[in-house]
């Protein structure tokens, strides 16, 4: 653990038992069915930093967020927060004093707010639960301050969630998360349900709050452009494992893992108008029966016998000159230098916003 590390996840795994009911299983003589949603994942987040986790559906990125926040118990591994173990194996509970410091923002602002509660009550709930402020008047003042902090009016507290648009609801979710004065926010696709112009408002707000309050973010998204905008470091997940983790600039300019390269090539970007490219064939395999060896090998153009046999470990790339000391990649081809290390630099800045007159 290096200095400044706030959250450290080491060798975390989460296994879900998705077997059919006992009787059905016994009658059909089927073994238990286990889903390895997260497999041996390690990373650390420094104070004040934003770590982005990207990947396609089913790669385990949301499960990681829930493990970190203590909504799921770990199947193996450890998570430490400021040196304190959280989400430990048997006693999965986070001490109250710590729990206050970790909060979560969910994807769906329609499902994550109680429709029968007024906004002021929703935002005040963590304050009551943690007994942070006492007295009705003091709590009311705190709620008003929180609402104005996220760009809503104090009067909005008397309304119900259905009276707000998606973007405003996400602001309410953020106000609720901030109510317990957290240090760390796990954000699970916080803008995926929003329109782009509203997404811009929420992303700008999250950035302002991070600066004002010194927050640390774990930001989960399937959208690489959004992650590029918010994150300092980026981890790429595939079928439950982190395949590459690096500083943002390194990851986007010099992606190492073939999957990262593929993802970057697949983004439909406004900058590439009219440019055609070769999409990578294949789809994410069923996580119930992941491929042997490197899970990406059936789609990887560089796969060989070793890739089919042996699971690559997250290690330093031999191409250290281009990379930072903390950047890691899990790929035999990179390790054996079988990949061309051509650097791909996307042309920047391209937006020539013209004067409309």
The nearer residue to another protein, 197 or 289, going by C-beta atoms, is 197
Task: Using CB under 8 A, pick the residue from 167, 182, 235, 258 that binds another protein.
Answer: 167
The nearer residue to another protein, 36 or 229, going by C-beta atoms, is 229
Task: Using CB under 8 A, pick the residue from 88, 98, 272, 311 that binds another protein.
Answer: 272
Q: Between residue 98 and residue 157, which ones bind another protein under the rule CB under 8 A?
A: none
The nearer residue to another protein, 158 or 204, going by C-beta atoms, is 204
State how beta strands 76-81 and 328-329 pair: unpaired
Answer yes or no whether residue 353 interacts with another protein by CB under 8 A.
yes
Alpha-carbon dihedral sign for residues 80, 83, 85, 86:
negative
Q: Between residue 276 and residue 335, which ones bind another protein under the rule CB under 8 A?
A: 276-277, 279-281, 283-284
In angstroms, what CA-CA distances link 65 with 106, 132, 265? 10, 25, 26
CB of 345 to another protein, least distance (A): 10
Nearest to 43 by CA among 20, 60, 22: 60
Q: Between residue 241 and residue 270, which ones bind another protein under the rule CB under 8 A?
A: 252, 262-270
Q: Give the binding range for another protein (CB under 8 A) out of 72-80, 197-205, 316-324, 334-342.
A: 197-205
Answer yes or no whether residue 229 interacts with another protein by CB under 8 A.
yes
- The side-by-side arrangement of strands in the sheet containing 241-247 is 102-105, 184-188, 216-221, 50-54, 233-238, 241-247, 328-329
The nearer residue to another protein, 85 or 222, going by C-beta atoms, is 222
- Angle (nearest 5°) at CA 200 between 197 and 201: 95
Task: Using CB under 8 A, pick the residue from 83, 135, 274, 340 that binds another protein.
Answer: 274
Task: Using CB under 8 A, pick the residue from 158, 165, 313, 343 that binds another protein.
Answer: 165
Whether 291 contacts 285, CB under 8 Å: yes
Q: Give the binding range for another protein (CB under 8 A) out of 12-20, 72-80, 125-133, 346-354.
A: 346-354
In angstroms, what CA-CA distances link 34 with 240, 243, 284, 285? 13, 22, 18, 15
Q: CA 338 from chain center: how many Å?
A: 30
The nearer residue to another protein, 123 or 224, going by C-beta atoms, is 224
57 class by beta-carbon count within 10 Å (0-12 exposed, 13-18 middle, 19+ buried)? exposed
Provide the angle, in degrees to the nearest 10, between the axes of the packed helices 166-178 and 119-130. 20
CB of 2 to another protein, least distance (A): 25
Token reading at 260: 């990262």
The nearer residue to another protein, 135 or 356, going by C-beta atoms, is 356
Answer yes or no whether residue 91 interacts with another protein by CB under 8 A.
no
Q: How many residues bind another protein (CB under 8 A)?
A: 56
Answer yes or no whether residue 200 interacts with another protein by CB under 8 A.
yes
Answer yes or no whether residue 225 interacts with another protein by CB under 8 A.
yes
Distance CA 150, CA 204 (A): 11
CB of 111 to another protein, least distance (A): 17
Q: Between residue 40 and residue 69, which ones bind another protein under the rule CB under 8 A?
A: 56-57
Distance CA 258, CA 98 (A): 39
Distance CA 67, CA 180 (A): 20
Residues at the contact surface with another protein, assessed by CB under 8 A? 56-57, 165-168, 195-201, 203-204, 207, 222-226, 228-229, 252, 262-277, 279-281, 283-284, 346-354, 356-357
């Amino acid at each position: 653990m290096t200095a400044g590390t706030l959250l450290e996840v080491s060798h975390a795994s989460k296994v879900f038992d998705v077997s059919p009911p006992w009787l059905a299983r016994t009658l059909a003589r089927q073994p238990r069915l286990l889903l390895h949603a997260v497999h041996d994942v390690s990373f650390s987040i420094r104070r004040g930093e934003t770590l982005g986790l990207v990947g396609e559906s089913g790669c385990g990125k949301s499960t990681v967020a829930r493990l970190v926040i203590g909504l799921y118990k770990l199947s193996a591994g450890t998570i430490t927060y400021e040196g304190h173990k959280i989400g430990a194996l048997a006693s999965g509970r986070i001490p109250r004093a710590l729990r206050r410091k970790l909060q979560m923002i969910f994807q769906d602002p329609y499902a994550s707010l109680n429709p029968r509660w007024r906004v002021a009550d929703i935002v005040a709930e963590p304050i009551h639960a943690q007994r942070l402020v006492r007295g009705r008047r003091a709590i009311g003042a705190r709620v008003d301050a929180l609402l104005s902090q996220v760009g809503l009016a104090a009067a909005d507290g008397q309304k119900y969630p259905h009276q707000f648009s998606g973007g405003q609801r996400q602001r309410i979710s953020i106000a609720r998360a901030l109510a317990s004065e957290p240090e760390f926010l796990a954000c699970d696709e916080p803008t995926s349900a929003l329109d782009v112009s509203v997404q811009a408002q929420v992303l700008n707000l999250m950035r302002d709050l991070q600066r004002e309050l010194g927050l640390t973010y774990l930001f989960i998204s399937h959208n690489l452009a959004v992650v590029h905008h918010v994150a300092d470091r980026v981890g790429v997940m595939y079928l439950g494992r982190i395949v590459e983790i690096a500083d943002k600039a390194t990851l986007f300019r010099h992606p190492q893992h073939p999957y990262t390269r593929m993802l970057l090539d697949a983004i439909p970007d406004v900058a590439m108008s009219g440019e055609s490219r070769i999409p990578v064939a294949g789809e994410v395999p069923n996580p119930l029966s992941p491929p042997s060896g490197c899970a990406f090998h059936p789609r990887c153009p560089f796969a060989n016998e070793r890739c089919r046999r042996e699971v690559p470990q997250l290690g330093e790339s031999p191409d250290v000159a281009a990379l930072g000391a903390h950047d890691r990649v899990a790929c035999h081809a990179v390790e054996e230098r079988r990949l061309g290390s051509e650097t791909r630099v996307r042309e920047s800045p391209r937006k020539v916003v013209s004067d409309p007159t």
